[in-house]
A and B are shown apart, each in its own frame.
Chain A
Amino acid sequence: MKCETQMPSSPLSHDDINALLNNYMNDNPKIGYLSFDVYQDSPVEGRVPIPNAVITVSQDLGYGYYFANVAATDDSGETKPISLPTLDRSLSLSPGQEKVCSFYNVHVQAPGYNPADFYGIQVFDGITTFQHANLIPVVNEYQ
């Protein structure tokens, strides 16, 4: 499959989508983890965890398709580590490699809060990456 264009000219066939996904899994044969910690820094209550925030982790595969994973936070504002495909760790052990891990984008949303986005979070083979998300409540001036 050639990456001639990022724009879908017409919907891909089922086989093409499978091929796209297989290519991605072949390029990223190992597993790394991403864990989120979602909270609000309230001026009154201090740090308060936000439960039931929805975390969407994604990677653009081209042609309008994405590799994606969705998780929700627990009562402590945390997700279980989300498993994600990444490169082999051996690549990171010598200098001069162009790419040593995979990168993911994340969208965080929770009712009553402004959503937050994170781009290019690095995920390494066998390592858990933590990302804090400090959300700001929605303020409606007309209520």
Chain B
Amino acid sequence: MVIISRPEVPFIPENIIVHLGNPDQQAENVTVPFPTYIKNVASATVYPTWPESAIRAIIYAEISFALNRVYTEWYRSRGYDFDITNSPQFDQSFEYERDFYDNISKIVDEIFNSYIIRRGSTEPLFTPVCDSKMTTCTGLTMWGAVQLAQQGYTPYQILQNYFGEDINIVTDVPVNANFESYPLYPLSLGSFGRDVAIIQQELNRIGNNYPTIPRISNVDGVFSAETEAAVKAFQTIFHLTPDGVVDSATWYRIKYIYNSVKGLSGLFSEGISPGELQNPFAVAWQEGDSGVWVELIQYYVRALACYYKDVPLINITGYFGPETTEAVKALQTKYGIIIDGVVGIQTWAKLDSDYKNVYQKIPPGCFENKTLYPGYLIYKGMGDKNVTLMQTYLQKIAQYYPQIPQLAVTGIFDDQTEAAVKAFDQYFLGEGTGIIGPITWSKIAAVYENLPGQNTQQTS
């Protein structure tokens, strides 16, 4: 697995091996996905009706405790063939295949890849949780946590109360598995890239077993309305908030379910077909690459260079040359991430979120057009004020350019809009994808703004 530009931290294991007994007792070992393990432990130890702060604090402690056992190889270094036991006397309670609670499940999906550290250390902190029956306790006590939560303590304050002021919670820790870690930014309508293509492929495969998930007809890496519908159906089936956004919780749940429908962790497995490895998107772009995605990166880099001034300004050429590398390095320095001039997931996430923050403050003259690209792809099936804006522009443009078919302003990116965008692309840019990215957006805006009569009306 390739991890790009990620900090050096202990991984979250994909699975954990639990011994169902005391360490020296003859008992079965079971292999459980790490989030499932935490849901089980939390459901076995807390009442789901407790205040959420108390539940969250306890779950953070239970995650860190388990990771501490894995990371320090507490049992393995002593010759055992498991990571942890299910004995509350030695570790924490775990009841194999027990039921669990919806609120706990949601919290765990959200935070299972976070843990507590002592400041200055990277090791998951040893954070025992004791129930009221234990006579001596050196860690967090459950009822104590409930009382603190009732007094308005946050989860972090509760943890500080038991484990010291000098603790931090590390979040978004990569998962060490046969799948890629969360790309650090949520994927939603208008996102695109390799991560989207992989999620589309995986949802389609899960849909073979779960027929209520609608098929995504184009596995093209563009987060379309179809993709959103499939994500929502998946979220409904697997008890996540059905918002159509692939956040960390949804990302990992898709990965775990995909593995379980493919039996990838079992004895018989479907394997990965060659089609699944072919992907239209690279993991990272760097010097020497070219194409539309390089154009897109250059658009973001240029926009940010106009905004920051101390980043070298580049032209959008579609070729990743030394000037682009230098500008990317300058931005990486600014963001405090690894400076390698390569646009991987972390750099991309930074460019994307930074652009969304500043695009309205980019000084005029940076681009030909005045109304700037809003920071997400506009694609068939979408409907918002930017779709309306593009339709208004195209409608006006069509009056002057007979090559562009007439269209009605409906607010929805429908077939007639796609036809108009394709025709526009073909005429002005020489290729027609029918998707409005930054290049198409900028051209549409520029052509519109330069139509007779538009110059005088521009107020900005």
Contacts and interface: CB of A to CB of B under 8 A. Distances in A.
Interface of A: 35, 41-49, 74-76, 78, 89, 92-95, 100-101, 118, 121-122, 124-132, 134
Interface in B184-217: 209-212
Interface stretch (B47-55, B164-172, B224-232, B389-397): B47-55
Contacts of B267: 43
Given A43-B263, A44-B263, A121-B99, 18 more contacts: A43-B268, A44-B268, A46-B262, A46-B263, A89-B49, A92-B50, A95-B143, A100-B47, A100-B49, A101-B47, A124-B48, A124-B101, A125-B49, A129-B100, A129-B101, A130-B100, A130-B101, A130-B102
B272 to A, nearest CB: 13
Contacts of B262: 46
B209 A49 contact: yes
Contacts of A121: 99
B99 A75 contact: no
B209 A46 contact: yes
Interface residues of B, number: 30
Interface of B: 47-50, 97, 99-103, 105, 132, 143, 146, 150, 209-212, 237, 239, 257, 260-263, 266-268, 270
8 closest A-B pairs by beta carbon, nearest first, are: A128-B102, A89-B49, A46-B263, A46-B261, A131-B99, A92-B47, A47-B260, A127-B48
A122 B212 CA distance: 29
A131 B101 CA distance: 9
A93 to B, nearest CB: 7
Contacts of B260: 41, 46-47
Contacts of A74: 212
A89 to B, nearest CB: 4
A43 B132 CA distance: 43
21 contacts: A35-B102, A41-B260, A42-B263, A46-B261, A46-B266, A46-B270, A47-B261, A47-B263, A48-B209, A48-B261, A49-B209, A49-B210, A74-B212, A75-B210, A75-B211, A76-B237, A89-B49, A95-B143, A125-B49, A128-B101, A134-B97
A86 to B, nearest CB: 10
A107 B267 CA distance: 29
A134 B239 CA distance: 18
A79 to B, nearest CB: 12
Nearest to B209: A48
A43 B257 CA distance: 15
Contacts of A75: 210-212
A95 B132 contact: yes
Nearest to A45: B209
B49 A130 contact: no
A43 B260 CA distance: 10
B49 A92 contact: yes
B402 to A, nearest CB: 50
A128 B49 CA distance: 11
Contacts of A95: 132, 143
Contacts of A44: 263, 268
A47 B47 contact: no
B204 to A, nearest CB: 14
A45 B102 CA distance: 27
A133 to B, nearest CB: 9
A126 B327 CA distance: 54
Contact of A127 (B103, B146, B239): B103
A130 B99 contact: yes
Contacts of A127: 48-49, 101-103
Nearest to B105: A130
A126 B210 contact: no
Nearest to A130: B100
Nearest to B142: A95
A43 B266 contact: yes
A47 B257 contact: yes
Contacts of B270: 46
Given A43-B263, A75-B211, A76-B237, A122 B102 contact: no
A76 B212 contact: yes
Contacts of B132: 95
Contacts of A42: 263
Contacts of A46: 209, 260-263, 266, 270
Of the listed residues A43, A74, A121, the one surrounded by the most CB atoms of chain B closer than 10 A to its CB is A43
Contacts of B257: 47
Contact of A122 (B50, B99, B209, B239): B99
A43 B103 CA distance: 31
A130 to B, nearest CB: 6
A75 B105 CA distance: 22
A94 B267 CA distance: 47
Nearest to B132: A95
Contact of B146 (A89, A93, A129): A93
A129 B239 CA distance: 11
A78 B99 contact: no
Contacts of A101: 47
A45 B48 CA distance: 34
A44 B210 CA distance: 16
A66 to B, nearest CB: 20
A33 B97 CA distance: 19
